[in-house]
């Protein structure tokens, strides 16, 4: 059996109780122990002069006890004054027994380790570790820095130290295999695995602790590198597996595509044309396209999807467009119908709410192939849905699906050994570090240009103590003929509460602004009701639309030029950016008012300031990643995704370029590659094992 995978119970002195405690730290086998890295270190390698101690120093001192007194105060304590010729230090014990009290007598020389803190009579150590100095005066200090590990209740630092020590004592290529070939390690100047682990658990006295605290030491970087590499390899494997499947080659014939473009009231931007060409080329290949299209909100991704769909249809295949919400699916359905019906094509539609005969009709048109394009929510991927000949699957607003979800959708779209081409579109730009890690299985295109004639949105921050002023502004804006959104945000992840908040706000606004026509949409309304209200707003029959974050995606009302967002501090920046993208679609100057609740945390202030400073979705995404971490940026649903044991995308993001190159080189070492994936992702949990 692989040594590294031996259970911790194989170690001396580890029984079931201990194993359970270790499990809480995610430690099951010897390898887990080795990857349980110290948080920081203590320096017990040197004796420090008492006179030179500074508050906060954690160190070893040796001195003679001069006085030892029990103080009867509010808390009984034992105080020992210790001198070493350079100064005096007080040792303070609140818990002590008679034996200890008798042992700590004046005249005794002891060695202590603790943190020096300011006390009433100069520096003191509270409950230091101490030991009687050996008779012969020889001082046995530690040879290496002492690791301090992340702990859980009921577990002692010393126990974990001894266990890891035990594993390290046997550490060689047998215990934990070096999986990076020596030639590549030399080329990329990477430490060996064993050296890195040994160094991090037992750093030499002169190790650069500052560097290690920052996680930037070559030994740490080596481990982070390996972990990122394993994730990358896992996704590459998925990619290769998909590539091995065939896909129908769907070359561009420019029949329907040309007709469609001729009918559009505008010409696609240069960026749209470039990305569409990249997609067109992929689809002509006999293996599945796996392409991610990123474009800021309003950059016109739908046109790119439509062009790809038409290319599929030109070749007699079907295309599916999947959106994350019914509202967005509906909007796509309306758009695609208006674009494609004039070309003599049929668009089908499938969402959860569609029931009975209507649903059967849609399903029938999908299976008999009379539907050329099918628009829907994830209802599209249910078993009852059978495509006659699915050539292309477009997944919109991808950031709401995690890696595992995305891969399982891919699996479902598969038909025997033939997979459809896949186009994934994200409304939220994804920071580069994330595209290079979480999306490493995809090719990436970026629409980095907005259609002409957009005016940037002015963003204003106002505390909700000035709510009345904001309401007056709403009144004035409506008097000018503007339409406005009033958005109520999520309250503690509860959709129900969010809807109630929207209802309350709506009532208040109706009372305060009786002259305005105010509508309400929220997630708990029936789809038909929602659609009716949206239609009224679009037709300018409403001045103000009070909404929950359901309007986040897809709503297109160019005349709406002001958005007020209540409690924006509750939302991620990407989501705020999405919401804000609903205004600024017409020719008039637009405003977004972020009405935050006091008090606002420091991070909260920083985040909202970013919204005021920039409208560049990529910058906002980077900042969001920096302030909230990858889990949040990818969406709240996929908490398990992109959780690294050692690597940290912010700290180690600069490694990703090299990781990708090395991943390419690892193709010559398939066995090691597979083992790397198993080591870091586990056998069952590697990507694509769905
Ligand atoms: P998103 O990238 O956010 O999905 P959409 O595809 O919904 O953006 O496009 C936003 C709006 O911009 C739509 O009304 C669309 O018709 C319009 N649009 C798209 N491309 C162009 C273009 N090249 N020129 C002018 N308007 C465009
Ligand atoms: Mg869109």
Nearest CA to ligand 1 atom 10: 298
In the reported structure, the alpha carbon of residue 292 is separated from the centroid of ligand 2 by a whole-number distance in angstroms of 14
Buried b (16+ CB within 10 A) or exposed e, 214-234: ebebebbbbbbbbbbbbbbbb
Closest residue to atom 19 of ligand 1, CA basis: 300
- Ligand 1 atom nearest 267 alpha carbon: 23
Residue 581 Cα: closest atom of ligand 1? 3
Residue in the block written with tokens 């639309």: 545
**Cα–Cα distance between 18 and 93 in angstroms, integer?**
29
- CA 468 to CA 485: how far, in whole Å? 16
Q: How much distance in Å is there from the Cα of 298 to the middle of ligand 1? A: 5
Protein residue with least CA distance to atom 5, ligand 1:
300
Q: Rounded to an integer, what distance in angstroms lies between the CA atom of residue 71 and that of residue 383?
A: 77
Strands 390-396 and 373-376: unpaired
Contact between residue 124 and residue 92 where contact means Cβ atoms under 8 Å apart: yes
What does the pLDDT look like over 4-31, one tens digit per residue? Answer: 888 999 888 899 999 999 999 989 999 9
- DSSP-derived 3-state class of residue 320: strand
Q: What is the mean pLDDT of residues 219-226?
A: 96
Its sign, for the CA torsion 169, 173, 174, 175, is: positive
Distance from the CA of 581 to the center of ligand 2, in angstroms? 11
Q: Where in the chain is the domain with CATH 3.40.50.300?
A: 457-614
Q: What is the mean pLDDT of residues 676-686?
A: 81
The number of beta carbons lying within 10 Å of the beta carbon of residue 95 is 10
Does the structure show a pLDDT above 60 at 492?
no
DSSP at 654: G
Residues of the chain with CATH 2.40.50.140: 46-141
Distance CA 565, CA 470 (A): 11
pLDDT in tens, 257-277: 999 999 999 999 999 999 999
- Ligand 1: residue whose CA is nearest its atom 27: 451
Probe residue for ligand 1, chosen from 269, 274, 295, 302 as the CB with the greatest number of ligand atoms within 8 Å:
302
| Nearest atom of ligand 1 to the alpha carbon of 299 | 2
Enumerate residues lining ligand 1, CB below 6 A.
Answer: 266, 268-269, 272, 295, 297-303, 427, 451, 556
Q: What are phi and psi of 60, to 5 degrees?
A: -100, 135
Residue whose CA is at the smallest distance from ligand 1 atom 4: 301
Select from 50, 8, 39, 48 the least CA-distant residue to 26: 8
Give 415's Cβ-side CA count (13 Å radius). 17
Specify the residue with its C-alpha closest to ligand 1, atom 17: 300
489 C-alpha to ligand 2 centroid (Å): 21
Contact (CB, 8 A) for 320 and 467: no
Q: What integer pLDDT is reported at residue 637 of this predicted model? A: 37
280-314 pLDDT per residue, tens: 999 999 999 999 998 887 889 999 999 999 999 99
Per-residue pLDDT of 594-624, as tens digits, reads: 999 988 888 888 889 999 998 888 888 888 7
Q: pLDDT per residue over 552-579, tens digit each?
A: 555 678 889 999 999 998 888 888 888 8
The pTM of the whole model exceeds 0.85: no
Task: Give percent of the chain with pLDDT exceeding 90.
Answer: 54
Give the closest ligand to the alpha carbon of residue 578. Answer: 1
What is the three-state SS of 195-241?
A: HHHHHHHCCECCCCHHHHHCCCCHHHHHHHHHHHHHHHHHHHHHHHH
Instruction: Give strand pairing partners of 348.
Output: 374
For tokens 């050329």, the residue is 372
- The band of 176, judged by pLDDT with boundaries at 50, 70 and 90, is confident
Is residue 677 within a helix (H) or strand (E), and if so which, with residue range? helix 670-681
Q: What percent of the chain has pLDDT over 70?
A: 90
| Own/partner long-range contacts of 333-337 (Cβ < 8 Å, ≥24 apart) | 333/375, 335/302, 335/306, 336/306, 336/309, 336/373, 336/375
Please write the tens of the pLDDT for every residue from 417-455: 778 899 999 877 777 777 777 777 888 999 988 888 777
Q: How far apart are the first and last CA of the chain?
A: 26
3-state class (DSSP) for residue 436: helix
- Count Cβ atoms below 10 Å from residue 310 Cβ, excluding itself: 28
Mean pLDDT check: name the lowest of 10-19, 356-365, 497-506.
497-506
Q: What is the pLDDT of residue 690?
A: 45
320 versus 326: the higher-pLDDT residue is 320
Give the nearest ligand 1 atom to 303 CA.
Answer: 6
Alpha helix locations (H) across 134-180? 157-169
| Rounded CA separation 6/579 (Å) | 51
pLDDT band at 173 (very low <50, low <70, confident <90, very high): low
Q: Note the pLDDT of residue 552.
A: 57
**What does the block give as tokens for 76?**
């009984």
How many Cα atoms sit within 13 Å of 40 on the Cβ side? Answer: 6
Q: Give the SS3 label for residue 49.
A: coil
Give 397 Cα–ligand 2 centroid separation in angstroms.
Answer: 7
Name which residue leads in pLDDT, 549 or 320.
Answer: 320
What is the 556 CA–ligand 1 centroid distance (Å)?
9
Q: Which ligand is nearest to the CA of 266?
A: 1
Atom of ligand 1 nearest to the CA of 427: 3
CA-closest candidate to residue 303, choices 339, 328, 331, 333: 339
pLDDT at site 213: 93
* Mean pLDDT rounded to a whole number for the chain: 87
What would the pLDDT profile of 122-156 be if each residue is shown by its tens digit?
999 999 999 887 665 555 678 899 999 998 888 88
Please give the number of the atom of ligand 1 that sits closest to the Cα of 296. Answer: 2
pLDDT of 351 above 70: yes
Determine the pLDDT at residue 640: 45
Beta bridge pairs of residue 80: 68, 91
Backbone angles phi, psi at 624, to 5 degrees: -60, -40
Minimum mean pLDDT range among 374-378, 381-385, 507-511 = 381-385
By most ligand atoms within 8 Å of CB, the mutation choice from 298, 301, 396, 397 for ligand 1 is 298
State which ligand 1 atom lies nearest to the alpha carbon of 335.
16
CA of 267 to the centre of ligand 1 (A): 11
Distance 162 CA to ligand 1 centre (A): 62
Cα 300 to averaged position of ligand 2 atoms, centre (Å): 7
What is the 369 CA–ligand 1 centroid distance (Å)?
29
> Of the ranges 326-330, 390-394, 431-435, 460-464, which one carries the lowest mean pLDDT score?
431-435
- CA 286, 291, 295, 298 dihedral sign is positive
Q: What is the pLDDT of residues 610-660, one digit of tens each?
A: 999 988 888 888 887 777 666 555 543 343 455 788 998 878 988 988 998
The CATH architecture to which 457-614 belongs is 3-Layer(aba) Sandwich (3.40)
Domain 46-141: top CATH class: mainly beta
pLDDT (mean) for 377-401: 81
Q: Which residue's CA is the closest to the ligand 1 atom numbered 9? A: 300
Centre a 10 Å sphere on the Cβ of residue 456 and count the other Cβ atoms it contains. Answer: 12
Distance CA(515)–CA(474), nearest Å, equals 12
- 273, 354, 595, 652 from 556: Cα distances, Å: 22, 23, 23, 39
Task: Report, as an integer, the average pLDDT of 85-107.
Answer: 92
**In whole angstroms, what is the distance from residue 295 CA to residue 429 CA?**
6
Residue with tokens 């329907």: 256
DSSP 52-91: G--TT-EEEEEEEEEEEEEE-SSS-EEEEEEE-SS-EEEE
Q: What is the reported pLDDT for 636?
A: 38
Tell which residue, 448, 405, 400, 439, has the closest CA to residue 290. Answer: 439
Residue 341 CA to ligand 2 center (angstroms) comes to: 20
Return the half-sphere exposure (C-beta side, CA atoms, 13 A cut-off) of residue 197.
24
For residue 374, the model assigns a pLDDT of 96
Instruction: Specify the pLDDT at position 653.
Output: 85
The backbone torsions φ and ψ at residue 84, rounded to the nearest 5 degrees and listed phi first, read -130, 15
Which atom of ligand 1 has the smallest separation from the CA of 301? 2
**What was the pLDDT predicted at 517?**
95
Q: What are the tens digits of pLDDT across the range 37-61?
A: 999 999 999 999 999 999 999 999 9
What separation in Å is there between the alpha carbon of 612 and the centre of ligand 2?
23
Ligand 1 centre distance from Cα of residue 522 (Å): 25
Q: What is the pLDDT of residue 639?
A: 39
Structure tokens at 104: 């700590």
Please give the pLDDT value at position 638: 40
pLDDT in tens, 528-538: 888 889 889 98
């Amino acid at each position: 059996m692989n040594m590294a995978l031996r259970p911790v119970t194989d170690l001396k002195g580890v029984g079931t109780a201990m194993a359970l405690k270790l499990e809480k730290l995610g430690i099951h086998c010897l390898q887990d122990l080795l990857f349980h890295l110290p948080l920081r270190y203590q320096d017990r390698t040197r004796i420090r002069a008492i006179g030179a101690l500074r508050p906060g120093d954690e160190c070893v001192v040796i001195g003679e006890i001069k006085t030892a007194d029990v103080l009867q105060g509010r808390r009984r304590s034992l105080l020992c004054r210790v001198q070493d010729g350079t100064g005096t230090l007080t040792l303070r014990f609140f818990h002590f027994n008679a034996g200890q009290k008798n042992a700590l007598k004046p005249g005794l020389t002891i060695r202590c380790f603790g943190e020096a803190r300011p006390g009433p009579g100069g520096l003191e150590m509270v409950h230091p570790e101490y030991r009687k100095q050996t008779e012969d005066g020889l001082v046995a200090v530690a040879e290496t820095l002492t690791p301090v590990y992340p702990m859980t209740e009921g577990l002692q630092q010393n126990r974990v130290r001894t266990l890891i020590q035990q594993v390290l004592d046997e550490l060689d290529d047998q215990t934990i295999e070096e999986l990076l070939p020596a030639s590549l390690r030399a080329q990329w100047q990477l430490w060996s695995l064993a050296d890195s682990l040994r160094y991090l658990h037992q750093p030499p006295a002169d190790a650069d602790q500052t560097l290690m605290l920052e996680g930037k030491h070559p030994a740490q970087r080596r481990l982070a590198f390996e972990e990122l590499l394993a994730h990358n390899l896992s996704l590459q494997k998925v990619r290769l597996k998909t590539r091995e499947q065939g896909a129908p080659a769907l070359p561009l014939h420019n029949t329907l595509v040309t007709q469609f473009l001729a009918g559009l009231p505008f010409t696609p931007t240069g960026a749209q044309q470039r990305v569409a060409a990249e997609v067109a080329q992929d689809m002509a290949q006999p293996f599945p396209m796996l392409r991610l299209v990123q474009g800021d909100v309003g950059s016109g991704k739908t046109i790119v999807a439509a062009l790809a769909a038409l290319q599929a249809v030109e070749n007699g295949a079907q295309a599916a467009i999947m959106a994350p919400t019914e509202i967005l699916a509906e909007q796509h359905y309306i758009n695609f119908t208006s674009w494609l019906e004039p070309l003599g094509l049929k668009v089908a539609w499938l969402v959860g709410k569609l029931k009975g005969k209507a649903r059967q009709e849609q399903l029938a048109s999908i299976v008999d192939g009379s539907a050329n394009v099918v628009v829907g929510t994830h209802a599209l991927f249910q078993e009852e849905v059978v495509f006659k000949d699915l050539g292309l699957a477009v997944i919109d607003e991808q950031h709401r699906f995690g890696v595992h979800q995305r891969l399982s959708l891919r699996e479902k779209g598969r038909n025997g050994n033939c997979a459809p081409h896949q186009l994934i579109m994200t409304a939220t730009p994804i920071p580069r570090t994330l595209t290079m890690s979480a999306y490493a299985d995809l090719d990436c295109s970026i629409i980095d240009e907005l259609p002409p004639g957009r005016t940037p949105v002015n963003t204003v921050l106002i505390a909700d103590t000035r709510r009345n002023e904001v309401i007056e502004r709403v009144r004035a804006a409506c008097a000018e003929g503007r339409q406005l959104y009033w958005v109520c945000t999520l309250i503690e992840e509860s959709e129900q509460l969010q809807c109630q908040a929207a209802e309350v706000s709506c009532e208040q606004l109706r009372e305060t602004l009786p002259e305005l026509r105010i509508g309400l949409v929220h997630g708990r309304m029936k789809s038909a009701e929602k659609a009716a209200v949206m239609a009224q707003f679009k037709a300018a029959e409403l001045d103000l639309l009070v909404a929950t974050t359901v309007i986040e995606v897809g709503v297109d009302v160019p005349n709406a030029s002001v958005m007020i967002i209540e409690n924006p501090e509750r939302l991620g920046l990407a989501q705020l950016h999405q919401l804000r993208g609903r205004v600024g679609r017409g020719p008039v100057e637009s405003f977004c008012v972020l009405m935050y609740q006091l008090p606002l945390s420091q991070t909260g202030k920083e985040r909202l300031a970013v919204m005021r400073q920039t409208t560049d979705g990529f910058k906002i995404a980077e900042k969001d990643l920096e302030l909230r971490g990858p889990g949040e940026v990818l969406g709240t649903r996929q908490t398990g995704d992109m959780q690294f044991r050692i690597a940290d995308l912010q700290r180690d993001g600069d490694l990703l370029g090299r990781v990708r190159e090395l991943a390419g080189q690892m193709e010559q070492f398939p066995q090691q590659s597979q083992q790397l994936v198993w080591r870091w992702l586990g056998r069952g949990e590697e990507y694509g094992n769905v």
